[in-house]
Chains A and B, each alone.
Chain A
Amino acid sequence: NAGVTQTPKFRVLKTGQSMTLLCAQDMNHEYMYWYRQDPGMGLRLIHYSVGEGTTAKGEVPDGYNVSRLKKQNFLLGLESAAPSQTSVYFCASSYSGTPYYEQYFGPGTRLTVT
């Protein structure tokens, strides 16, 4: 039982390049989330999904797209990377969308855009 895994762990991009971050969970959770963490800040929600085939915007969605083609996977895409997207990206999953369930986090992906 691996929990939540993220690929890759580190990545360096040049401005304008694109990339996809992959999140996978093996807990059969319906709800999945992408956050970013910047220095001196808590995590901020980028996009989330309440089930296979569904996605919704979070607090800071601009510049990102997501897809949830399979229940266990949640992809985060950067179409044209900008230095402002340099951050640590965390994926999380949860059994339920109610406030009473914790979210399980992946190990994070450290992205640098030069």
Chain B
Amino acid sequence: AQKITQTQPGMFVQEKEAVTLDCTYDTSDQSYGLFWYKQPSSGEMIFLIYQGSYDEQNATEGRYSLNFQKARKSANLVISASQLGDSAMYFCAMRDPGWRGGGADGLTFGKGTHLIIQP
């Protein structure tokens, strides 16, 4: 069975500081994808960044980067120069090819980290 663990229920960070949100995962598949989503107080799910299990380079998207350590099964999200608008819930999620046997399965999510950026 696959599992996503986010060990930080909440974090307070000063504006303009960098922040790392932890995510560890567990899968027996070799081929999988790791995703981070942001959920602001308005409730929508916003895709931030993706890392494939075969990608050798860490993914980056603007101020977001993913610190992918395959041997440790961790996929931490790094936000550089945090802004007040970064305050939100952040979810780590994994997708692998049909561990339930049917293929095209959905994402498995962690419980999230509530990030609050303080001025």
Contact = CB atoms under 8 A, between A and B. Distances in A.
Contacts of A33: 106-107
B7 to A, nearest CB: 14
Given A102-B50, A105-B44, A97 B104 contact: yes
Interface stretch (A19-27, A37-45, A70-78): A37-45
B110 A42 contact: yes
A43 B43 contact: no
Interface stretch (B66-74, B78-86, B92-100): B92-100
Nearest to B39: A37
A96 B98 CA distance: 12
A1 interface: no
A99 B53 contact: yes
Interface residues of B, number: 30
Q: Tell me what chain B mostly uses at the interface: helix, strand, loop, or mixed.
A: loop
B44 A108 contact: yes
A31 B104 contact: yes
A103 B47 CA distance: 8
B62 interface: no
A95 B81 CA distance: 32
Interface string A86-103: 001010100011111111
A42 B4 contact: yes
B5 to A, nearest CB: 11
A50 B104 contact: yes
B95 A90 contact: no
Given A92-B106, A97-B105, A107-B43, 9 more contacts: A42-B91, A43-B91, A45-B105, A48-B104, A50-B104, A58-B105, A97-B97, A103-B107, A108-B43
23 contacts: A31-B104, A35-B106, A43-B45, A43-B91, A43-B107, A45-B105, A50-B102, A58-B105, A88-B43, A92-B45, A92-B107, A97-B98, A98-B97, A99-B31, A99-B52, A99-B97, A100-B33, A101-B33, A102-B35, A108-B43, A108-B44, A108-B45, A110-B43
